[in-house]
Amino acid sequence: VSTVSTVSPESRAPRLIAVDWGTTSCRLALLADDGTIIGRRDDGPGILAVPPGGFPAALDRFVHGLAAVDTPILLSGMVGSRQGWIEAPYVPCPAGLQALVDRLVPLDLGNGRRCAVVPGLSVETTWPDVMRGEETQVFGVLARSGAGAGQFVLPGTHAKWLSVRDGRIADFASYMTGEVYAALRGHTILARLMAVEAQPFAASAFARGVALGAAAGGPGALLNRVFSARTLALFDRLTPGEGADYLSGLLIGAEVAAATAETSAAAVVTIVGSDALTQRYAAALAGLGRAHIVAAPDAAAHGALAIARAAGWL
């Protein structure tokens, strides 16, 4: 293992365990004071896999042997939901880092070790929207970049778009794009027209989908346009190997256009994520003429560190 020689040993001491605990996954990062990630684990149980009352033991197993037993632990994500360890009430937007610190929900692990859950955020328009975990990631990006404003997208099953102003999360919106894609691709007539086996990414079919998805029209136009994945295949203008990426582009293109409709054309969208989906969002934003950058990885860990520091934990 190579080391960076300009970092003093003291700054590399483990200071925080940041756990990003979601519905179906559980990841941790062991952080030093300067943000260096000293260790990682990504094989913890998602909250749905933890039996009732089993969270203390699950956490204990997951962090076992990782650092001194008094290293503080900060949890973010769905672990703070009604189905999780303890329900951390949503903090309404606009919300800055301090609002999260003020509303941390402490957990007594029985051994004096510091541990808390980061609350999620809510926002109310004509209906309430919620998130858990993404707020920590975005504060991590802000802490690393020094930025205090901008638009951020976190692709996923339920993609989140956040607007940050004056260092606070001012507003956000969820898009069920990933889950709608999976439902359409797996459980409608479109499934029959798409190759079952993995295909190389069909970039041009994706781009065609983005363009149609983003074109002007009302919300219901999407219900019409998804049918094009069928008819283009019927007329041999889309191959079975292209169908899934075309549909993906259509949905992501619609999402990106809707989420950026009121954003200045000159604004830069920051994509937060690390998987293949990140590249699809980058391609969609590029196709729609939107400047964008991909944030540095480990946003959740860096967000937890920023929160722990603001809370006076280190």
Give yes or no for a cis peptide into 94 (omega within 30° of 0). yes
Q: Does 284 bind its own copies (CB under 8 A)?
A: no
Cα(96)–Cα(166) distance, integer angstroms = 9
Cα(83)–Cα(226) distance, integer angstroms = 34
91-92 sheet: strands from edge to edge: 91-92, 121-124, 128-131
Q: Does 88 bind its own copies (CB under 8 A)?
A: no
Q: Does 9 bind its own copies (CB under 8 A)?
A: no
Pick from 13, 147, 173, 294 the residue near its own copies by CB under 8 A.
Answer: 173
Pick from 33, 38, 99, 129 the residue near its own copies by CB under 8 A.
Answer: 129
Q: Which two tokens stand for residue 270?
A: 């920051």
Q: Does 255 bind its own copies (CB under 8 A)?
A: yes
Pick from 234, 286, 291, 296 the residue near its own copies by CB under 8 A.
Answer: 234
Pick from 218, 275, 276, 289 the residue near its own copies by CB under 8 A.
Answer: 218
Q: Which two tokens stand for residue 48?
A: 């749905």
Angle at 119 between CA 147 and CA 163, to 5 degrees: 35
Orientation of helix 299-310 relative to helix 134-145, angle to 10°: 80
Q: Does 289 bind its own copies (CB under 8 A)?
A: no
Q: Does 49 bind its own copies (CB under 8 A)?
A: no
Cα(227)–Cα(269) distance, integer angstroms = 30
First and final CA of the chain: distance in angstroms?
A: 26
Q: Does 256 bind its own copies (CB under 8 A)?
A: yes
Pick from 154, 259, 299, 308 the residue near its own copies by CB under 8 A.
Answer: 259
Number of residues that bind its own copies (CB under 8 A): 52
Q: Which window, 72-80, 162-170, 219-227, 301-309, contacts its own copies (CB under 8 A)?
A: 219-227
Give the footprint of its own copies on this chain (CB under 8 A).
82, 126-130, 158, 173-177, 179-180, 182-184, 186-189, 212-228, 231-232, 234-235, 237, 251, 253-259, 261
